[in-house]
Structure 1
Amino acid sequence: MGQAVLWGVVAASPLLVGALLALLRRWPPKWLGIVLGFGAGALMASIAFELWEEGLQLAGAVPLVIGVAAGAIAYYIAARILDARQAKTHQPAGGPSLAVAALLDGIPEQLVLGIGVASGDGVGIALVVAILVSNLPESIGSASDLLESGMRKGRVVLLWAGVAVACALATVAGYALADAVGPDFRAAANGFAAGALLVMLVDSMIPEAQSKAKESTGLATVLGFAVAAGLALTA
C-alpha cells in the first residue's frame, strides 16, 4: 500500500505544482504552448505504447475498445456541459476544459498504476513520465487561464489541489481493487483513459498549444512523443 501511495503522490503532484507555478509569475504564452505541445506528444506515446498495448495484452480488443468509446463519450459530454456553462458566463474554455481532462484521464490512468503495483507487474516508466510531463503544463495552462478570467488565487489552488488528491486516491483505489477485478476491467480502464485523452488532445490541449506557440507546436509535440516513446521501448 505504501508503494501505491508513493506513486499516486508522485504522479499527481505536478497538478498542484503547476497551479502554484502559475501563481508565481505570468508565463509567456509561447513557452506555455511549447510545454503543452511537448506534453501532448508524450501523452500520444503513452496511449500507443502503454495504455493501448497493455490493454490488448490483458484482455484483447473488445474490453479495450469499449473502454476507449466510454472514455471518449464521457469526456465529450463533460466538455460540452462546460462549454454551455462558460458561454453563459463568458469565460475562456481552455482552463476548465484542461481541469476536467486532468480528472477524466488522470483517475483511470492512476487506477491502472495502482493495479499494476498491487499485481506485481511494475510501473510503466513511459506512462509515469507521460503523466508527469503532461500534468505540469495542463495545470500551468489551466491555472493561468483561470486567473486571467478573474478566478481568485485561492480558488485556483483549491481546484487543482482537489484534482491532485482525487487522482492520487485513484492509485490507492486501484491497489485495493487489484484482487477483485480481472483483466477485462483493467483493459477497459486503460481504454477509458486512452479515449478521454484522445478527445482532450484534439479538442483542447493541441488547439491550446497551437494558439500559444504557433509554428513551434508541431516540433514540440514530436519531441515529446519521441522522448516518451523512447522510454517505453527501452524500459
Structure 2
Amino acid sequence: MGQAVLWGAVAASPLLVGALLSLVRRWPDRLLGIILGFGAGALMASIAFELWEQGVELAGNLPLIAGVGAGALCYYVAAHVLDARQAHRKKKDTGGGSLAVGALLDGIPEQLVLGIGLASGEGVGVALVVAILVSNLPESIGSASDLLAGGMRKSRVVLLWAGVAVVCALATVAGFALASAVGDGFRAAANGFAAGALLVMLVDSMIPEAQKKATESTGLATVIGFAVAAWLALSS
C-alpha cells in the first residue's frame, strides 16, 4: 500500500506543480499555446501507445471500446455542465475549466490502472513516470494560466488543481485495494474511459486553445510532444 501512495503522489504531482508554475510569472500566449500543443501531442501518444495498446492486450476490443464511449460521454456532459454554469455566471470561458475536467476524467482511471498494476506485481518504469509528467505538466500550466486570465483568484486555482491531484493520487490507492476484486476486463475498460475522455477534451478544448494562442506553431509543437512521449512509451 505504501508503494501505491508513493507512486500515486509522484504521478499526480505534475498537476499541482504546473498550477504553481502558472503563479510564478505571466506566461505569454504564444508560449502557452506551444506548451498546450506539446501536451496535446504527448496525450495522443499516451492514448495510442499506452491506454489503447494495453487495453487490447488485457481484454480485447469490447471492454476497451465500451470504456471509450463512456469516457467520451462523461467528458462531453461534464464540459457542457461547466459551460452552462459559466454562462449563467456571465464569465468568459477561457478553456481552463474544461482542461481541468479532462485531467480529472483522465487521471482517475489512468491511476486506478496504475494501482492495480502495482498490486499485481508489475513494476513502474522511469519512462512511464516521465511520460506522465510530459503530458500532465503542460496541461495544468495551460489550464491554470487560462483560469487566472479569466479572473479566478490564485488561491482558488491552486485549490482546484491540488484537489485534482489528490483525487488522482487516491485513485492509485483505490486501484491497489481493488486489485484482487477486478479483472483484466475492468482494467481495459478503465483504459478506454481515460482514452475517450482525453480524445474529446483534445478536440473540443486543448487543441483549439493551443491553436488560438500559438497559431502556426501549434502543429509543430504537437508533433514534437507526440514524438517525445511515443519514444518514452515504446522504450519503457
TM category, shorter: over 0.9
CA deviation string 1:146-165 (max 9, x = no partner): 11222111111111111110
For residues 103 and 145 of structure 2, the distance between their equivalents in structure 1, rounded to whole angstroms, comes to 15
8 Å Cα contact 1:209/1:217 also seen in 2 = yes
Deviation at 1:136, TM superposition (A): 1.3
For residues 125 and 54 of structure 1, the distance between their equivalents in structure 2, rounded to whole angstroms, comes to 18
For residues 144 and 18 of structure 1, the distance between their equivalents in structure 2, rounded to whole angstroms, comes to 9
CA deviation string 1:114-143 (max 9, x = no partner): 111111222365553332122212211111
TM-score by length of 2: 0.95
Give the structure 1 partner of residue 144 of structure 2: 143
For residues 134 and 59 of structure 1, the distance between their equivalents in structure 2, rounded to whole angstroms, comes to 26
Deviation at 1:231, TM superposition (A): 1.8
For residues 197 and 215 of structure 2, the distance between their equivalents in structure 1, rounded to whole angstroms, comes to 25
Taking the TM superposition and a 5 Å limit, the aligned residue runs for 1:62-77 are: 62-77=62-77
Q: How many residues were matched structurally?
A: 235
For residues 25 and 72 of structure 2, the distance between their equivalents in structure 1, rounded to whole angstroms, comes to 34
Q: CA RMSD in A?
A: 1.3
Give the structure 2 partner of residue 234 of structure 1: 235
2:165 partner SS: helix
1:142 partner SS: helix
CA deviation string 1:46-84 (max 9, x = no partner): 111111111111111110000000000000010111111
8 Å Cα contact 1:51/1:190 also seen in 2 = yes
Give the structure 2 partner of residue 110 of structure 1: 111
Q: Match for 1:44: what amino acid? A: M
For residues 100 and 28 of structure 2, the distance between their equivalents in structure 1, rounded to whole angstroms, comes to 20
For residues 51 and 44 of structure 2, the distance between their equivalents in structure 1, rounded to whole angstroms, comes to 10
- For structure 2, list consecutive stretches of 5 or more residues without a partner in the other structure: none
Give the structure 2 partner of residue 161 of structure 1: 162
TM-score by length of 1: 0.96
Q: Match for 1:62: what amino acid? A: L
Give the structure 2 partner of residue 122 of structure 1: 123
Q: Match for 1:59: what amino acid? A: A
Percent of residue pairs bearing the same amino acid type: 81
Give the structure 1 partner of residue 28 of structure 2: 28
- For structure 1, list consecutive stretches of 5 or more residues without a partner in the other structure: none
For residues 125 and 190 of structure 2, the distance between their equivalents in structure 1, rounded to whole angstroms, comes to 15
Is 1:60 aligned with 2:50? Answer: no
2:124 partner SS: coil
8 Å Cα contact 1:59/1:187 also seen in 2 = yes
Q: Match for 1:217: what amino acid? A: T
